[in-house]
Amino acid sequence: MKPFNNPIFVTRPLLPNLNDISEKMQQIWDAAWLTNNGKQHQKLESELMRVLKVPYLSLFNNGTIALMVALQSLNLSGEVIVTPFTFPATIHALSLCGIKPVFCDIHNDTMNINVAKIEELITSVTTGILGVHVFGMPCDVIGIQKISDKYGLKVVYDAAHAFCTEIDGTGIGTYGDITMFSFHATKLFHTVEGGALSFNDANLKLRCDLLKNFGIKNEDEVVAIGLNGKMNEVQAAIGLINLNYIESERQKRAKIIETYCENLGKIKGISFCMPGESVKKSFQYFVIRIDKNEFGLSRDKVYEKLKNYNIFARKYFYPLCSNYSCYKELISADKRKLPVANIVASETLSLPLYGALEVDEVLQICDIIKSFKK
């Protein structure tokens, strides 16, 4: 089996036509308006409300800052219950807002926070639940809402991986109090760096708009301790152009995922989970789980061996956040309390997925993985 001539990365950014970008840049130059709620920003906000099927939306310079503003806007404090199986940004956003993360184990099938384990973690200082729709798989939004209603908790979702995900036609960003989206270059839809919050409550949007602009209400009043979370015009313009490519990108990715599933689906020791028919998928990641005993090789070994073939898969999300040096001393970080999350983080591997990847290349990646089977 021959290695690829050029490196195959886990993803490659969607790159729109440069002429389209130049045209948009000319409009921005002509207006001499580069940031602070310009025309591109306003247009992208309204376009995304339509695409994501959410009633209110606020754009940000990245997803992490957006998440911090969401937590601040809801006055979350004390403890927030969260999954440890996520990117560092989810947990760090809590810590940077002075909130203690309380890790909850995950569900083996969905890899999302296990709703059956949340109630036992609620204390007198718990103020919220932060769920992550990991790899675009929706959390048990109904189960989480029931718990939050019972205990009066706020619910925030990290939908960094769930652009345009819908449950039975309902936008993922309509669940909970606030949902965060990331528009980083590695995401299905991107603005190079960027993000957004979605809301059902118009007042929450107003509050977040204020908090992302230093708390400035008008020229005479600063009414809150805010930061700079604004998306600029260049980012917004690139987002507007990229929106035109999203459906074709999704179709290409769907074909790639189908190819992976057909070719890896029957291999003992390799499994993957897909959202059911009722879920519109974002196709942002394709993640397999490798059972070392059944496959004959561990996830780590597969990851290393793939590099010999110029394939750079990623071990998202290893290490588990609860095992970072900054969190491992927390009581909830005890490995015995997070058995499923610790196993899942040692078995998952994100395989290359992006529209420019050819189906022949996917077949070759599958053959290479199959050749590792013992």
Where along the sequence are the contacts to ligand T4K (CB under 6 A)? 9-13, 62-64, 86-87, 89-90, 132, 158, 160-161, 182, 184-186, 195, 312, 316
Instruction: Check if the beta carbon of residue 355 is closer than 8 Å to that of residue 361.
Output: no
Alpha-carbon gap, residue 86 to 102, rounded angstroms: 14
295/306 with CB nearer ligand T4K: 306
Q: Which two tokens stand for residue 256?
A: 């790639």
Alpha-carbon gap, residue 138 to 111, rounded angstroms: 10
284/332 with CB nearer ligand T4K: 284
- Tell me: cis bond preceding 317? Omega within 30 of 0 counts: yes
C-alpha distances out from residue 41 to 52, 60, 61, 176, 233, Å: 16, 10, 11, 25, 6
How near is the Cβ of 293 to ligand T4K at its closest, in Å?
28
How near is the Cβ of 277 to ligand T4K at its closest, in Å?
25
- Strands of the 270-271 sheet, one edge to the other: 270-271, 286-290, 348-351
Alpha-carbon gap, residue 26 to 64, rounded angstroms: 30
What distance, in Å, lies between the first and last C-alpha atoms of the chain? 16
How near is the Cβ of 134 to ligand T4K at its closest, in Å?
7
Alpha-carbon gap, residue 89 to 255, rounded angstroms: 30
Q: Which residue is nearest to ligand T4K (CB)?
A: 63
Measured from the Cβ of residue 201, the count of other Cβ atoms closer than 10 Å reads 12
13/269 with CB nearer ligand T4K: 13
How near is the Cβ of 220 to ligand T4K at its closest, in Å?
33
83/295 with CB nearer ligand T4K: 83
| Of 160, 142, 136, residue with least CA distance to 272 | 136
How near is the Cβ of 257 to ligand T4K at its closest, in Å?
18
How near is the Cβ of 219 to ligand T4K at its closest, in Å?
31
Interior angle at CA 94, CA 92 and CA 97, nearest 5: 105
28/353 with CB nearer ligand T4K: 353
How near is the Cβ of 185 to ligand T4K at its closest, in Å?
4
295/350 with CB nearer ligand T4K: 350
| Of 234, 236, 233, 216, residue with least CA distance to 224 | 216
Q: Which two tokens stand for residue 31?
A: 């207006």
How near is the Cβ of 247 to ligand T4K at its closest, in Å?
22
84/195 with CB nearer ligand T4K: 195
CA 27 to chain centre: 31
Place of tokens 């569900």: 107
7/265 with CB nearer ligand T4K: 7
